[in-house]
Amino acid sequence: MTQSLSLMPDSNSDSEVISENISQPLIIRQLPDISLPSTSSMMKLQQHLDLLLLALEALQLGGSEYMLATAKELELNGIIKNRLSLWRLRCSNPWRKCYSRNSLTLLQAKALVCLASESAKKCNIPLRQLLLAVQQMKDKEMPLANNFRLSEYFSQFQAHFRRRMNPLRAKVSFYLSTPEELNLLALSLLEELLFCTGTRGKERFWISLFDGEVK
């Protein structure tokens, strides 16, 4: 059965139509098919994926360019064509100012997970350095922001978050008003990114997205 999805039309009124039964890239096929949950659960999933990609951008300057290059290497450019289409997919995050009320399809969600996982692998060294720094600072009972690399990461994460997220959302407002909590969120995403770099990382992360959401 062919399913097609039309995304929001751009300013020239062209709409992108993606056919779900095109031969899927190999990397996509490594992720098992799972029945997509309800709209509200999908909103959480979409929010989670966008924040994970945001963490990647905060981890590495120019992260979004690297992500697009990675999408092309993974032959995901049928789904993530260019910067605009990636942005549209990420606007499925209900916390965003540009929230589009679209839900990701199974194929699009898988593509974003693969993209996050493979991009994280490329950032393996700075990722591990940051997590090592977290451990060292906590062992010495020193504030994390005293570490230069961590401080940079937190700043970048906060800047992206503040610029993109809608402050009228209760949760967004909470994070914007309590930077310590926002930093904790940024750290938890770093740990997830580490797990995404594993041999079965993207499969594990994919399954974890649906914990508590399947029948």
Partner 1 sequence: MERQYLSPNCILSLQGFSDGNNSSDVPILSILSQAQCQIIGNPVILSGGLTFIQHLIKAVSAYSQTLLSGLNHTWESSDDTDYIVLQKIPEKNRHLLTWQEKKAQTKNQLQIELTTVQLFDLLETIDQLYVDKYTLPQLEDNPQPLSRRYRQGEISIIEQSTPITLGFAGLALAAIALFILPNPNTIKDPNQEPKPNINNTQTIPPSPPLPDK
What does DSSP assign to residue 78? T
* Cα 62-63-67 angle, rounded to 5 deg: 125
Segment contacting partner 1 by CB under 8 A, of 4-12, 52-60, 83-91, 194-202: 194-202
Q: Which is nearer to partner 1, 31 or 80 (CB)?
A: 31
- By CB under 8 A, is residue 195 in contact with partner 1? yes
Q: Look-up: residue for tokens 């606007």?
A: 91
Spell out, one character per residue from 70 to 99, where the chain touches partner 1: x when CB under 8 A holds, - when not: ------------------------------
Task: Say if CB 100 and CB 5 are below 8 A apart.
Answer: no
Q: Does 213 bind partner 1 (CB under 8 A)?
A: yes
CA distances for 22 relative to 1, 3, 80, 194, angstroms: 11, 10, 14, 31
Q: How far apart are CA 111 and CA 136, in angstroms?
A: 35
Does 177 participate in binding partner 1 (rule CB under 8 A)? no
Q: What are the Cα distances from residue 16, in Å, to 22, 24, 72, 105?
A: 14, 17, 18, 14
* Stretch near partner 1 under the rule CB under 8 A, chosen from 59-67, 80-88, 147-155, 203-211: 203-211
CB of 105 to partner 1, least distance (A): 18
Q: Is 199 exposed, middle or buried (0-12, 13-18, 19+ CB in 10 A)?
A: exposed
Residues 106-145 that bind partner 1 (CB under 8 A): 128, 131-132, 134-135, 138-139
Q: Using the rule CB under 8 A, give the single segment among 50-58, 61-69, 154-162, 202-210 that binds partner 1.
A: 202-210
Q: What residues make contact with partner 1 under the rule CB under 8 A?
A: 34, 128, 131-132, 134-135, 138-139, 170-171, 174, 191-192, 194-195, 198-200, 203-205, 207-215
